[in-house]
């Protein structure tokens, strides 16, 4: 069970971005995907979530194949994501942003909305409750009525996580959740990721460049370089793997942010 990628190959105009990637995330695990810039980490996320269509291989989630599914169907199957550059809905409140996550778990249509049927009203109430609960969980329920894009950057990232949680996922993909956060915010992010798994039973897979955060939070680390999975294991195993050291030493110093 969990997420299982088999021999995923993704090419763009002859460039092989992902090369026969095998990869698993167990149920209720916290795993990280690391690698130098351009290694193909976000491409791998996009391949899992249906934004990219790998030419070969298979994405399996809890026994279901997700290959060729559109992104909204992948979300419905239980995989939610955040984006590397925060992508909140402009001109909408924090709460309205989070409410987008409940779309795929609800069903009211135009006619019931126009007639305000009891079922529709009950559903709206339920959406509000779930979303406020998600905002409370990430700790920013006080700001629910503010315009999302007016929030401090760190809080915008939390809105994105709350929005992903509102889709009621079984697996949460976080694309560089610590980018742009200060060290206090990073500490509470570590704690939040652990609570997501411990309290909600959601597995978490994150892409992250901040190595100390990665080492602190992940139980399992996968290293991608030039589209290939070069190492996998616990923090200690990965840190001492010669292939990983080589991949990083070939890079700029900033990539060594240990």
Partner 1 sequence: MAVNTVSNPTSRVDRLYAWFDPPGRRWTAYALVLAFLVTGPLYMSNYAMVIMTNALLYVVLALGLNTVVGYAGLLDLGYAAFFAVGAYTTGILTQEFGVNFWLTIPFAVVAATCAGIIIGGPTLRLRSDYLAIVTLGFGEIVRIAARNLEITGRASGLSGIPNPSLFGWEISGPTAFYYVFAILAVIACVSSVRLLHSRLGRAWLYVRHDEDAAEAMGIDRVKVKLAAYITGAIYGSIGGVFFAVNLGSISPPSFSFQQSVLILMAVILGGMGKIPGVIVGAFIVILGPELLRDIGSLRLLVFAVILLLIMLFRPSGIWPSRRS
Residues that bind partner 1 (CB under 8 A): 49, 51, 70-72, 75-76, 80-81, 83, 87-93, 96, 99-106, 108-110, 113-114, 116, 120, 123-124, 127, 146-147, 150, 163-164, 167
In the complex, minimum distance from the CB of residue 34 to partner 1, in angstroms, rounded to a whole number: 22
CB-nearer residue toward partner 1: 57 or 78 = 78
CB-nearer residue toward partner 1: 69 or 220 = 69
- SS3 track for 146-200: CEHHHCCHHHHHHHHHHHHHCCCCCEEEEECCCCCCCHHHHHHHHHHHHHHHHHH
Contact call for residues 172 and 202 (beta carbons, < 8 A): yes
d(CA 113, CA 197) in angstroms, rounded, equals 35
In the complex, minimum distance from the CB of residue 3 to partner 1, in angstroms, rounded to a whole number: 16
In the complex, minimum distance from the CB of residue 131 to partner 1, in angstroms, rounded to a whole number: 11
CB-nearer residue toward partner 1: 83 or 255 = 83
Pick from 206, 238, 203: which is nearest to 223 by CA? Answer: 238
CB-nearer residue toward partner 1: 8 or 172 = 172
Structure tokens belonging to residue 197: 């798994």
CB-nearer residue toward partner 1: 81 or 220 = 81
- Locate tokens 């299982």: which residue? 4
In the complex, minimum distance from the CB of residue 195 to partner 1, in angstroms, rounded to a whole number: 22
d(CA 86, CA 157) in angstroms, rounded, equals 6
In the complex, minimum distance from the CB of residue 114 to partner 1, in angstroms, rounded to a whole number: 5
């Amino acid at each position: 069970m969990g997420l299982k990628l088999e021999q995923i190959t993704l090419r763009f105009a002859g460039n092989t971005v992902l090369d026969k990637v095998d990869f698993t995330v167990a149920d209720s695990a916290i795993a990280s995907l690391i690698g130098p810039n351009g290694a193909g980490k976000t491409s791998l996320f996009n391949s899992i979530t249906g934004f990219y269509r790998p030419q070969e291989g298979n994405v399996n989630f809890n026994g279901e194949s997700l290959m060729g599914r559109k992104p909204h169907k992948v979300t419905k199957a239980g995989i939610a994501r955040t984006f590397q550059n925060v992508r909140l809905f402009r001109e909408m409140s924090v709460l309205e942003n989070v409410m987008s996550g409940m779309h795929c778990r609800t069903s009211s249509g135009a006619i019931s909305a126009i007639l305000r049927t009891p079922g529709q009203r009950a559903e709206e109430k339920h959406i509000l409750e779930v979303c406020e609960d998600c905002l409370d969980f990430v700790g920013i329920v006080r700001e629910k009525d503010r315009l999302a894009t007016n929030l401090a950057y760190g809080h915008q990232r939390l809105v994105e996580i709350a929005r992903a949680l509102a889709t009621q996922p079984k697996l949460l993909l976080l694309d560089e959740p610590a980018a742009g956060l200060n060290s206090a915010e990073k500490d509470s992010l570590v704690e939040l990721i652990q609570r997501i798994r411990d309290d909600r039973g959601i597995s978490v897979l994150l892409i992250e460049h901040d190595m100390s955060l990665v080492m602190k939070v992940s139980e399992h680390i996968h290293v991608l370089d030039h589209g290939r999975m070069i190492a996998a294991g616990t923090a200690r195993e990965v840190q001492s793997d010669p292939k990983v050291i080589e991949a990083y030493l070939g890079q700029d110093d900033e990539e060594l942010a240990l």
